[in-house]
Structure 1
Amino acid sequence: MPTAVQYLKESDPNLQVLGAAYIQHECYNNNDAKHEVRRYKGIAELVKLFNCDSQEVQRFATGATRNLIYENMDNKVALIEEGGILWNMSSKDNLKEKMAKETLQDLTEKILIPLAGTENADSIQQTPSEADIFYNTTGCLRNLSSVNEKTRQQMRETPGLVDALVCYIKGSLEGNSAEDKGVENAVCVLRNLSYQLYSEMPPSAALRLEGPTRASDTSKGEAIGCFTPQGKKAKNRRDKDLSTFTEVARVPKGMEWLWHPQIVGLYNRVLHQCEINAITREAACGALQNITAGDKRWASVLSRVALEQERMLPILLDLLRTNNDLELRSLTGFLRNLSRHAKDKNDMATKVVNNLITKLPNDGNQKEPSSEVVVNVCGVLNNLVTSTSLAARDICYFDGLSKLVGIKNIHDSSAGKLKAAKAAATVLCNMFQYKKLHREYKGKGFTRPDFADMSI
């Protein structure tokens, strides 16, 4: 090993390759060898070779380094200290913030933008090597985008980063390459950058999206155990919001893509074209869930764009057939937001209640779907029940009462199951407010105690 490290310092590229190749081979699955390289200061010498004129030297030097840092935190720290950059380093939370600060600009300018394609391209034109490089780079960005608010903000504000990701997804969709792993990474990055978007976006952008008089007329949130009918004033405002969103819907640039109405259409295309890769679909639904969450004006606008302009409800209901719990969490979370902001609750109830009832477990003891999915489904049902008796009628008609009562009454004491039980109890409590439906409930064998929330 001392000889191999010495070869790295030589001026002869052949000796440099020989030394790096030996280190790469020895460190493939040998922790003692990894420690030895660090002890002989070999990491610093390998980093120096990253910018060597010889591509063969670069290849062996980076290959050796990849093996050196695999599952070895001491070597990863040493590599950062020497200014080295590699994707699998970005998977460690305590290194992500430093990596983002030092690498984002170079990764974006030297790799992401040049390889992401051009606007209105028919497809992405990359060599196999370029495809690997782009995949590794977007994988690194995917890791970095999940660390914390500070890093998310830095990524959103990096010139060209968001534009390049959107451009690449567009080009891939045009070229019928929705299943591409690069698309998966790109959509996951956008999903992560959309997390807590409305609370983290620049104040100037938030003010523009909310409008000057929004603060005086803010919704109080979702109903919990009682009716909260939508007032005419709120309805008229939302109608105006949707018809005038073009005030801020100019051609998007940079982070504006994250909340622009056009991004809803892009995610819609991903969901339609991506039939195999559930991770990509989950990420697209997760991004849509993020940008429609809460009671902000713009969350309502984008919900209406999804429902009325992109007409996404059919594809979402089709996707409900999946048994992938992670995908179901994002999907039902998005549907929950849509049900909150939908203009025509009657129409939505008619289309979604039956589909949602089929996803509910028979009681709270079933392990699938997860409690998160059950809470989301109950949230959708509650948003509809508090607005229209049609939802309550359909829940009864499609035998949802037995499932809701089972979830409410039969469960263990875990936090998730208790939350699901509370969500089911809320739906039942609000269903009972419709006295005209009491006869139908009784006909199904349910009486007043079944609708009571025993935790109150």
Structure 2
Amino acid sequence: MSEVHRSACGALRNLVYGKANDDNKITLKNFGGIPALVRLLRKTGDVEIRELVTGVLWNLSSCDALKMPIIQDALAVLTNSVIIPHSSSWDSSHNLHDDRKQHTHTSQVLRNATGCLRNVSSAGEEARRRMRECDGLTDSLLYIIQTALGSNDIDSKTIENCVCILRNLSYRLAAETSQGQQLGSEELDGLLCDANGRDGETSGCWGKKKKKKKGQDQVDTHTHRDIHRQSEYINI
């Protein structure tokens, strides 16, 4: 059965690659594909299948019409089955062992999951609200970033995804929630500026701060690239 799952998910990942295949993405959703993928992710321990499932979800998340359905069906499982486990091996002094750090930053499953969440985090106010209220998500993203401080991993795609998710969730935070001080861009700026040796008071992590134009949108609306391989057996 595992081989069937691998082959099916590999085929689906390729069928829903790119904007040209948005119709395939909608068809997959209409046939209950998102909940089925989520169930498989929740129950399987096979790393290759988990990579394929999260790769399909990342590809689906590039379609605007599917961002909220993914949040509704997949957010909790992506958080509890992928994001939190990759940040849960902290010891009592909040340090992560070196071998676990390496696994975290090289995990394709985590890269795919954060890429998916990065895309759906730009889907609007309701998407931001649900993600902010998802228990353990923001804390785990911050922990994953902290494990990369002072290392070359700070420039990895996984860390980029985590930072962009938090940036989007901090957009209009004070206006959209009464707990606006719990997650803000200043906290994230300070964390990343420490890693890069910059003065957090004079420079933000998005570069030199400039006066924003009136009404300028601060959400990262860039939809990250789909994942495509000619064969599911080819590794990056």
8 Å contact kept, 1:122–1:175? no
> Are 2:46 and 1:99 aligned?
no
Work out whether 1:150 is the aligned partner of 2:126: yes
Aligned to 1:141: 117
Per the alignment, residue 184 of structure 1 pairs with: 160
- Unaligned stretches of 5+ residues in structure 2: 38-56, 217-236
Gap runs ≥5 in structure 1:
1-51, 210-255, 274-309, 320-326, 338-371, 376-456
C-alpha separation in 1, matches of 2:27 and 2:11? 14
Q: In the alignment, what sits opposite 1:90?
A: 61
Alignment check: 8 A CA contact 1:107 1:137 kept: yes
Alignment partners' CA distance in 2, 1:127 and 1:156: 22
| TM-score, L = length of structure 2 | 0.68
Change (3 A) 1:93 1:125: same
* Cα distance, 1:74 vs structure 2: 2.4
Over alpha carbons, which structure has the higher Rg? 1
CA apart distance, 1:173? 1.1
Contact 2:150–2:195 (CA under 8 A) maintained in structure 1:
no
Question: Is 2:21 the counterpart of 1:72?
Answer: yes
Does structure 1 residue 172 correspond to structure 2 residue 148?
yes
Q: Which residue of 2 aligns with 1:269?
A: 194
What letter corresponds to residue 65 of structure 1 in structure 2? L
Q: SS of the residue aligned with 1:154?
A: helix
Counterpart amino acid of residue 120 in structure 1:
N
C-alpha distance 261-120 of structure 1, shift in aligned 2 (>3 A): farther
* Correspondence for 1:61: 8
Number of positions where the alignment pairs a residue of Structure 1 with one of Structure 2? 184
Residues 268 and 312 in structure 1, CA contact (< 8 A), matched pair in contact too: no
Q: Distance in 2 between matches of 1:127 and 1:140?
A: 17
* TM-score normalised by length of structure 1: 0.37
Q: Tell which has more relative contact order, 1 or 2 (C-alpha 8 A, sep 6+).
A: 2
Structure 1 contact 87–137 (Cα < 8 Å) conserved: yes
Q: Deviations over 1:197-218 (max 9, x none)?
A: 110113xx35xx6xxxxxxxxx
How far the C-alpha of 1:270 sits from its partner, in A, is 4.2
Give the CA deviation at 1:141. Answer: 0.4
* Cα offset, 1:99, TM superposition: 1.0
| CA distance 1:136–1:311, change in 2 (3 Å) | closer
Q: Hey, what does 2:95 align to over in structure 1?
A: 120
Relative to structure 1, is the Cα distance of residues 192 and 271 closer, same or farther in structure 2, using a 3 angstrom cutoff? farther
Alignment of 1:275-294 (within 5 A): none
Q: 1:178 to 1:122 in 2, by over 3 A?
A: farther
**1:215 matched residue in structure 2:** none
Contact 1:152 1:193 in 2 (8 A): yes
**Per-residue deviation, residues 221-266 of structure 1 (Å, max 9, x unmatched):** xxxxxxxxxxxxxxxxxxxxxxxxxxxxxxxxxxx2x139754431
Partner of 2:154: helix, strand, or coil?
coil
Deviation at 1:272, TM superposition (A): 3.4
Aligned partner (choices 124, 139, 149) of residue 163 of structure 1: 139
For residues 73 and 186 of structure 1, what CA distance do their matches in structure 2 show?
A: 25
Q: Which residue of 2 aligns with 1:199?
A: 175
CA RMSD of aligned residues (A): 2.9
Identical positions, percent: 38
